[in-house]
Amino acid sequence: MSARRLILAPMGLYQGVLRQNLAFMDRFRVIQVDYPDAEVEWEMVQAAVPSLPEEIVAKMLTVAHEVRRLFVGEERGAAQLTVTMSTRTLVRWGLLVTTFKGAPNVFEYALTQALTARAEPEQREAIHQIAADVFGEYWQRSAS
């Protein structure tokens, strides 16, 4: 009896630490899985963090979409970011916003903890600029 395994990575763009040899990789099927539709992702974030205002969830989803678009490279055919935002990271960002509610610059701090602390400085700056542009006046506020 042989065991069957399924490995999923969004858009096939996952980059692991070590390249696996062909004999090992031949044991798996490769399928392409995209991110959930905006409505589904909205429901997932709302279910995980029901206390987040709808306006904030909408802004977070806009940031995630823009980060993903730049990661995949939909413009000019080349990826401009090497970091992307998974649905899990998006939910983590929302949870951290509520955890640090009342802190100064809570959206920025929570985004750093959820995603950009592991990114190169240039990538971190670019992602934070995207978020600042989307959030506008909310970016420097505390969550209420």
In the chain, where the domains are located? 38-140
For the segment 30-34, the average pLDDT, to the nearest whole number, is: 83
Amino acid at 31: I
Contact indicator for 66, 81 with CB cutoff of 8 Å = no
Q: Identify the CA nearest to 51 among candidates 86, 100, 117, 114.
A: 100
pLDDT bracket for residue 1 (50, 70, 90) = very low
Model confidence at 17: pLDDT above 70 = no
| Report field, pTM of the whole predicted structure over 0.85 | no
Q: What is the mean pLDDT of the chain?
A: 86
